[in-house]
Amino acid sequence: DSRYTREDIFRNVNFDDIFRDIFGDTDSIFKDFFRFGFGKDFFRRTEKGRDINVELRIELEDVAHGAKKAITYTRIKKCEFCNGTGAESPEDFKTCDLCKGTGEVKEVKRMGFSQYVRIMPCPKCGGRGKIIAKKCRYCKGTGKIREKETVEVEIPKGIRDGVSLRYKGMGDYEGSYGDLYITIRVNPHRLFKREGNDIIYRAEISFPEAVLGTKIRVPTLYGTEVIKIPPGTQYNDTIKLRGKGLPKMNSFGKGDQIVRVVIKTPEKVSKEEKELYRRLFEISSSKHY
């Protein structure tokens, strides 16, 4: 059968390629078409400046109590002298003579008896509709300047390492401002280790203290506490100090401080101590025979 359906005829035809060869980017065809209905600014977006990411290092005490820290960084801002136009004065900001201030130019293409019109950003003014006759002395015509900025950062209690705080509109300028993201980094502590909202502290005691029991003073993030070591305490036993951990961020309550007992073996002993340990060893060994 030599008859073909429309599906057979157009099965291998790529209409996207055909339109792209004729008009360029097919997306722009539809943008140009709809622009007539919705106005020339319908698809024009305000450029947003780059987001800036910086790190702020804090101590574990700052996490426990909250803090205020100042951080200085460099960002691109709108030139206040020319208000971002890049011109020395309003009179130096003139209408583009190519696009007549529209920011757009038309490109006409003919194909057979048909004529197609494509609208593009003006190459002379970059789509702004204005050209600068005399550049601003401060920003050299860019409309932007690079400055140092100092921000006071409110450190919330209980914040975790790696959390980013967002400061809207404090990033770079490019038509509008991007945002500033400050990533919190908590420095390692010489005494404490964090596990969630709990604090781990290793307390060293002697062998006699572990056997007989004792009282010791331990540091916390809120002062010192006296804790009781019960007789017969084993290596790695734990004692919990309730509410002496870190605050729960954006919530109520605190974690705990976990005191992990470490029984320290003396490296050097006196002659008398050695004799006592030997006697203790003999007594302990006799129980097993």
Helix spans in the chain (H) = 6-9, 15-23, 26-38, 60-65, 207-212, 271-286
Can you tell me which residue has the tokens 């600068």? Answer: 132
> Which of 38-52, 65-79, 112-126, 159-173 shows the lowest per-residue confidence on average (mean pLDDT)?
38-52
Measured at the CA of 152, the angle between CA 150 and CA 156, to 5 degrees, comes to 150
Say what the pLDDT of residue 36 is: 39
Long-range contacts (CB closer than 8 Å, 24 or more residues apart) made by 18-21: none
Q: What was the pLDDT predicted at 112?
A: 75
Tens digits of residue pLDDT in 146-182: 999 999 999 999 999 999 999 999 999 998 999 999 9
Domain for residue 231, yes or no? yes
In a domain, 162, yes or no: no
d(CA 127, CA 198): 58
Mean pLDDT of the chain: 85
Compute the residue count for the chain: 289
Residue 22 lies in a domain: no
- What 8-state DSSP symbol labels residue 89? S
pLDDT tier at 59, thresholds 50, 70, 90? very high
Chain-centre distance for alpha carbon 76: 19
Q: What is the pLDDT of residues 230-289, one digit of tens each?
A: 999 999 999 999 999 999 998 899 999 999 999 998 888 888 888 888 888 888 777 655
Describe the chain by its helix, strand, coil percentages, rounded to 5.
20, 40, 40
Q: Which residues of 83-104 are buried (b: 16+ CB within 10 A; e: fewer)?
A: ebbbbbeeebbeebeebebbbb
Whether 108 maps to a domain, the answer reads no
Domain holding 254, by residue range, is 192-286
Report the pLDDT averaged over residues 42-66: 86
Question: Is residue 117 assigned to a domain?
Answer: no
Under the banding of pLDDT at 50, 70 and 90, the label for residue 29 is: very low
Q: Is the pLDDT of residue 221 over 60?
A: yes
Q: What CATH number does the domain containing 252 carry? A: 2.60.260.20
* Low-confidence winner among 77-86, 117-126, 197-206 (lowest mean pLDDT): 117-126
For 74-93, what is each residue's pLDDT tens digit?
Answer: 999 999 999 988 999 988 88
Residue 276 domain-assigned (yes or no): yes
pTM for this structure? Answer: 0.70
Residue 66 located in a structural domain:
no
List, as one string, the DSSP characters of 28-80. Answer: HHHHHHHHHHH-TTSS--PPBPPPEEEEEEE-HHHHHH-EEEEEEEEEEEE-T
Gap between the Cα atoms of 221 and 246, Å rounded: 8
Q: Would the pLDDT of 26 be above 60?
A: no
Domain count, the chain: 1
Domain contains 142: no
Residue with tokens 């990033």: 171
